[in-house]
Amino acid sequence: MSQYTPMIQQYLRVKANYQDAFLFFRLGDFYEMFFEDALKASQELEITLTSREGGTEERIPMCGVPYHAAAGYIEVLIQKGYKVAICEQTEDPKQAKGVVRREVVQLITPGTVMEGKGLLEKENNYISSITMFDEATFGIAYNDLSTGESKATILTGSEEILLNELATIGTKEVVVDSNFDSNLRKKIEERIEAIISIEKNIDNDHESNDILANLSNEKLQITANRLLHYLKKTQKRSLDHLQPFSEYEVNQYMKLDYYSKRNLELTESIRGKGSKGTLLWLLDETVTAMGGRMLKQWVDRPLINEADILRRLNLVETTLQRYFERQELRELLKGVYDLERLSGRVAFGNANARDFIQLKKSLMQIPAIVSLVKQLEHSEAEKLADQLDPCEDLTDLLEQSIIDQPPLSIKEGGIIKDGFHEELDTYKDASRNGKQWIAELEKEERQKTGIKSLKVGYNRIFGYYIEVTRANVHLLEEGRYERKQTLANAERFITPELKEKEALILQAEEKCIELEYALFMEIREKVKTYIPRIQQAAKIISELDVYQSFATVSEARHYVRPSFNDQRLIHITNGRHPVVEKVMGSQEYVPNDCRMDSEREMLLITGPNMSGKSTFMRQIALTAIMAQIGCFVPAENADIPIFDQVFTRIGAADDLISGQSTFMVEMLEAKNAIANATKNSLILFDEIGRGTSTYDGMALAQAIIEYIHDRIGAKTLFSTHYHELTSLEEKLVQLKNIHVSAVEQQGKLVFLHKVKHGPADKSYGIHVAELADLPKELIVRATEILSELENGQARDVKTETNPEHVNEQLVFFAEPVKGQCSDQERKILEEIRKLNLMEMNPMQAMNNLYEIQKKLK
């Protein structure tokens, strides 16, 4: 250390405590970075890399950004998943003895962002902490620092349950102990795409008692304390806006695993990763940012308690029926700013005078909202209205104190209204009177000297002065003014009287600015005391916003109120896929009925590709989800059960990150459904088994169908191209065949998109290929081959060139011929002989088959 200059030594001491962050080290008007930070930051931020003397022979790499533009650079680094430690000068350079004292005043991380473009209006920015109590017990606590929302739960089960919950939360950062399981840490980083941070301290301090008051057990308190200690350590300021942790159980909501949410495109599109084309995109007619965030939370966690669902539906129905009140409510809500994040900025010390004007305008809307909601004449609406606190005393304070159009800065004055503070008014009068005297002086001197271009000006270096152009200097009487400064084209002068007034004006202005800043800080402290009341109002307004959003969408798109039954019946008349219908626009959507009861627990769906099998399956799931979040649904009538879980296996894609094939992904998703589904679940399986050979795929598909039918009994929609499976209707009493119809007209395929009873007569695969504009010659040849296959005339092409390759898959299972099998192959065949298939369930059989296939490869 001694080889470096004192300033570089100081930098290294600070950097030692923030090894995983870029250190923005304040030097004058710049934040500088050195050594590895400089090399990396210059690449990530695309800024110039330089160097400087540091006491050693080699110059030290260095790069920097202006302090006034630092926010933009910090935001870029945060969005790329980095942390940034802000190191400020905490000592007046004029009073410093040696190197100016510097300290880190804040650590900004992806999970602790408080402002900027990375903080999306209608999305929460969560940071979570995890405590692993044993292999099957996890504590999770999470918080949105920008809004103060805090929640916690205990999970029991596999790592998948933990990963699924983190995905549902959408956490950006996860705080764990230093000895956290490394494999699980890797999965969190890769699958959840969250950064990992370390916090060992889990002690309970008295300051956190109120925040932890609602947590029922020690495990939850430990997990929440870990998060709170990390937030306090990194932010180094007041966190008065943090709301008490609310405890929840995942079993209170419909379970939707990561794959099902992705396949159903609830909040994120598979194609573009944005929200367009998702259920959230369809339903979002919210007016406030707070309402948008609440809507996303509801879509992520549909309810399973019927009373809670009916309460929401009642409020949506009331709002839908009162058109004029709903439109007026929308207009009032447009005047409400983001109260949750405004509260966060106040507590955090970031709020400026413009934030206070937004807060005042928002609170001033509340009385009108209360009156309007009470006009709905609904008991639950009246309860919400009664809980809405307009904080009238706070509104009065802000109205009396802050001017309507304040400047952005809080340190340059011009914020406080006249009449709010007597001493401030005195300084303002002195300043204004002085400036009036200056204006009159200019007028008098022009008249006395006859110089019309004479002016009285001001700059920070010379203060007030009288300026006369060089061409008019000869008109001045000798000794009238005292020369102050000579310019190329003018002379500047002062007078004793002007000097005296300057001192009075500047003193008054300086005291004005100091006093205004002090008064603003006092007001901010008073506003802090209202934060819990503001946050409560924000929750009610958010809820009202979501109800009017549901009502607006339901009216515009002709949705109906769903009903629920305990008999596990699905009776949907003319149901539609809500998102597809919206995307189609003016094109007519073909609706379909769905009937499922105790005799129709499973529907086996056949039909050509592109006919609408997947769309039909998805629309059933989306109808259930929309109903259970409290929204009306796209149908003429919908009577459905309340589902505890929804599982999907739709589409096929390799999981490149974990190195799993399409088929393995299929099997894992199928296993998840089979292992966790109950009779009250909904399962959607789309073409299971297509990722492997025909016979393997067909065998697995049938085994899965039989297992769900016989062992689970969940409502299941199973689409397939294996037409042989349609014969299962004769064997499985609760399985029925349906198909999505298509017709051939003049040799062309026309999709009718209508679901009908019974199996499809053929797949029309070649017709679909023709629609895709494959070469005509290829289509003709495919038709010839199909005809041969259907007539049993096809020959195995391989037999003409190498007879040994005939029916390779079947030969594998035949008796070994001496001299034709390797030792390894004989061992594998011996393993197969020993397998007792009759004692295995389908999943065990699949796993054994997968292991054997791996060995052969």
CB burial readout 447-473, b (16+ within 10 A) else e:
eebebeebebeeeeeebbbbbbeeebe
pLDDT tens for 596-629 read 999 999 999 998 777 788 999 999 999 999 999 9
What band does 459 get if pLDDT is binned at 50, 70 and 90?
confident
For residue 75, give the nearest of 29, 24, 129 by alpha carbon: 24
What band does 809 get if pLDDT is binned at 50, 70 and 90?
very low
Compute the Cα dihedral for 567, 569, 571, 572 and give only its sign: positive
Which H helix or E strand runs over 649?
strand 645-649
Region 253-274: what's the mean pLDDT? 88
pLDDT at 654: 40
* Surface-to-core class of residue 240, CB atoms within 10 Å of its CB (0-12 exposed, 13-18 middle, 19+ buried): middle
pLDDT at 73: 96
User: Which own/partner contact pairs does 493-500 have at CB distance under 8 Å and 24+ positions apart?
Assistant: 493/465, 493/466, 493/467, 493/468, 494/463, 494/464, 494/465, 494/466, 495/466, 498/441, 498/456, 498/464, 498/465, 498/466, 499/463, 499/464
Binding residues for ATP: 607-614
pLDDT at 838: 65
| Structural domains for the chain | 6-108 (3.40.1170.10), 126-252 (3.30.420.110), 284-391+530-556 (1.10.1420.10), 422-524 (1.10.1420.10), 563-763 (3.40.50.300), 804-856 (no CATH)
Residue 411 has pLDDT above 80, yes or no: yes
pLDDT at 791: 66
C-alpha to C-alpha distance for 260 and 649, rounded to whole angstroms = 7
Instruction: Give me the count of residues in the chain.
Output: 857
What band does 47 get if pLDDT is binned at 50, 70 and 90?
very high
DSSP assignments along 434-502, one per residue: HHHHHHHHHHHHHHHH--TT-EEEEETTTEEEEEEEGGGGGGSPTTSSEEEEE-SSEEEEE-HHHHHHH
C-alpha to C-alpha distance for 299 and 286, rounded to whole angstroms = 14
Task: Give the three-class secondary structure for 328.
Answer: helix
pLDDT tens for 280-289 read 999 999 999 9
Contact (Cβ atoms closer than 8 angstroms) between residue 50 and residue 66 = no
pLDDT tens for 820-835 read 567 777 788 878 877 7
Average pLDDT for the chain: 88
C-alpha to C-alpha distance for 285 and 555, rounded to whole angstroms = 12
- The radius of gyration of the chain from alpha carbons, rounded to an integer in Å, stands at 36
pLDDT at 783: 66
pLDDT tens for 652-684 read 444 433 445 667 777 877 888 898 999 999 999
- Reading the block at residue 690, the tokens are 């297509």
User: Which positions ≥6 away from 582 have C-beta within 8 Å?
Assistant: 282, 557
Region 41-56: what's the mean pLDDT? 93
Binding residues: 607-614
pLDDT at 499: 87
Residue that is written with structure tokens 């999505």 in the block: 740
pLDDT at 535: 96
Return the DSSP state at 314: H
Contact (Cβ atoms closer than 8 angstroms) between residue 381 and residue 318 = yes
Q: Are strands 173-176 and 126-134 parallel, antiparallel or unpaired?
A: parallel
pLDDT at 831: 81
Residue 815 has pLDDT above 90, yes or no: no
pLDDT at 201: 94
C-alpha to C-alpha distance for 86 and 74, rounded to whole angstroms = 10
- Reading the block at residue 175, the tokens are 């705080």
For residue 571, give the nearest of 632, 641, 631 by alpha carbon: 641
Residue 674: how many CB atoms within 10 A of its CB?
A: 20
pLDDT tens for 573-601 read 999 999 999 998 878 889 999 999 999 99
Task: Give the three-class secondary structure for 240.
Answer: coil
